[in-house]
Amino acid sequence: MFRLQSSKVLAVDMTGDAVKAKNGSMVAYDGEMAFKKLSGGGEGIRGMVTRRLTGEQMTLMEVKGHGTCWFADRAAEISLVGLQGDKLYVESSNLLATDGGLRTGTSFTGVRGASQGNGLFTTTIEGHGQAAIMSDGPAVLLRVSPQYPLTVDPGAYVAHQGDLRQSFQSGVTFRTLLGEGGGEAFQIRFEGDGLVYVQPSERNTIAGDV
Amino acid sequence: MSTYGTPGAGPAAHDPSTLPSDDNVDHYTFCVELTGSQWFMQKGKMIAYYGSIEFNGIGHGRLDRLVRTSFHSPLHASDWVVAEGSGKMLLADRAFDVNSYDLEDGNLTIRSGNLLAFQPSLSLKQSIVPGFLTLIGTGKFVAASNGPVVFMEPPVRVDPQALVGWADCPSPCHHYDHGYLTGVMGGLRALTGLGGASGEEHQFEFVGAGTVLLQSSETLMAEQATGVTPGEPGVPGSGAPGGPGQPSGAPRLPGQLGDLQRRFGL
């Protein structure tokens, strides 16, 4: 059972079940816990090879036991996501922990990933359970519905879930080349039905300078 | 914000109908509503938007008239864009605290790196104080700070790193703790840092009617270029010679006491 001890510390109450968490993110525990490193995100040989090839490397550990375990990473703000059979797309660097029963994998994101400097692939989490994602500053959760499509700066994008189509928008015009760009040269547009997590901070992207 | 302690609860989901209009979403995110209107903003501070919004560099020909009336910092224009259209737009800056302020026929001077966005009903000018910008008129602007902003009434002396800006013309000047700094020992202390310099011998002093804005940390926001001032004599920070009687800008050699010599009459 995931709960937030504070906005920056995740507490997980366990009764013999397992959670997958970012390697080294345990800050304290109470009770009996066993920590096991999962090579390649616990996705077997195939997952390991995929991650190596796609650059979505993620070192996860499996924590199993009875008691409470607390997780935190570099004072990042944590948001909890509940999954009911749907799929969460998250950057591997923004994933803190998931329920042991959730499946993790990689998926192709296309040119969006390239524009935010995170590579062309992203991590997916699927199943029933909870996940904890991290952001630089508290994440803002924005709903996308057919009448309200959303446009996001690639540097502020953290995660999304639901039935969303992404398209890539470029605002590069001849003015950008003249050094008079609008500062928002690359944008991702989300359409459909779902939720998008954005952080109040931008990673350094190539788009940030144009 | 997250509801702490509730299992499985994430942050509340926002859509255009629940997002505030020209107000904070949380301490770190500000929502601007555009209804065919325009806002000036620093390049690259938009994190997301609903609706259709266009971002144009200041140099855009169509914006010439707007820039003429509310943007008087021509050499600094490349850092600013005009957001135009209809919809709701979220602004944020490196997870710093953001706040909006209303000016009513007033003036406010702010450190250039802290100003995020402003309504075109305000006009932006370079301040005479290097590194600061002045907003004049009526309207709303958004500023970022490292930690929440504290408002102080003059007379007050503040730490240079904590100063965000000031409103309604109190007179900003430097203040040195001369009692601590004078004499040969004081000079040596200031020069070498040996013998216990407290690091607080220099402050900014404000007197007069007005408000001083401080951030609750001494970490400065990255400075934004304010543009160069015209190279005329008498303009601070212009690099032009100030006229007769001014010290020459000869590079100081290591070991030389420099202007401390003058200050202590050595």
Indicate if B124 and B167 belong to the same structural domain: no
Task: List pLDDT tens digits, range B220-237.
Answer: 766 666 656 666 666 666
Domain boundaries, chain A: 2-209
pLDDT at site A176:
52
Which residues in B lie closer than 8 A to residue A179 (C-beta atoms)?
57, 78
Domain assignment of residue B51, given as a range: 18-145
Residues B51 and B167 in one domain: no
What CATH code would you report for A2-209? 3.60.160.10
Lowest mean pLDDT, pick from A183-192, B134-143, B221-230 = B221-230
What pLDDT is attached to residue A205? Answer: 52
pLDDT at B113: 84
Q: What is the mean pLDDT of residues B249-266?
A: 49
Average pLDDT over chain B, rounded to an integer: 76
Chain A: nearest CA to B200, how far in angstroms? Answer: 30
**A149 touches B: beta carbon within 8 Å:** yes
Could you say which DSSP state residue A207 is in? Answer: G
3-state secondary structure chain B: CCCCCCCCCCCCEECCCCCCCCEEEECCEEEEEEEEEEEEEECCCEEEEEEEEEEEECCCHHHHHHHHHHEECHHHHHHEEEEEEEEEEEECCCCCEEEEEEEEEEEEEEEHHHEEEECCCEEEEECCCCCEEEEEEEEEEEEEECCCEEEECCCEEECHHHEEEEECCCEEEEEECHHHHCHHHHHHHHHHCCCCCCCCCEEEEEECCCEEEEECCCCCCCCCCCCCCCCCCCCCCCCCCCCCCCCCCCCCCCCCCCHHHHHHCC
Q: How confident is the model at residue B88 (pLDDT cuts 50, 70, 90)?
A: very high
* Contact state of B13 with A195 under an 8 Å Cβ cutoff: yes
Task: Establish if A171 touches chain B: CB-CB under 8 angstroms.
Answer: yes
In a domain, B255, yes or no: no
pLDDT: is B192 or A138 the higher one?
A138
- Averaged pLDDT for residues B90-109: 90
Question: How sure is the predictor about A24, in pLDDT bands with cuts at 50, 70 and 90?
Answer: confident
pLDDT value of residue B247: 45
Calculate mean pLDDT across residues A34-50.
69
Q: Is ipTM beyond 0.90?
A: no
* Host H or E run for residue A174: helix A174-177
Q: Rounded CA gap, B115 and A189, in Å?
A: 27
Q: Which position has the higher pLDDT, A59 or B186?
A: A59
| The predicted structure's pLDDT at residue B10 | 56
Q: Is residue B56 part of a domain?
A: yes
Which among B145, B172, B197 is the end of a domain?
B145
Chain A nearest-CA distance from B169, in A, is 32
Mutate to test the interface with A, among B1, B15, B24 (most CBs of A within 10 A): B15
CATH number for the domain including B91?
A: 3.60.160.10
Q: Give yes or no for residue B210 having a pLDDT over 50.
A: yes
Q: Which of A78, A142, A199 sits opposite B14 (nearest CB)?
A: A142
Final residue of a structural domain among B108, B124, B145 = B145
* Domain total of chain B: 2
Higher pLDDT, A110 or B79: B79
Give the residue with greater pLDDT, B231 vs A61: A61
What is the mean pLDDT of the segment spanning A65-74? 92
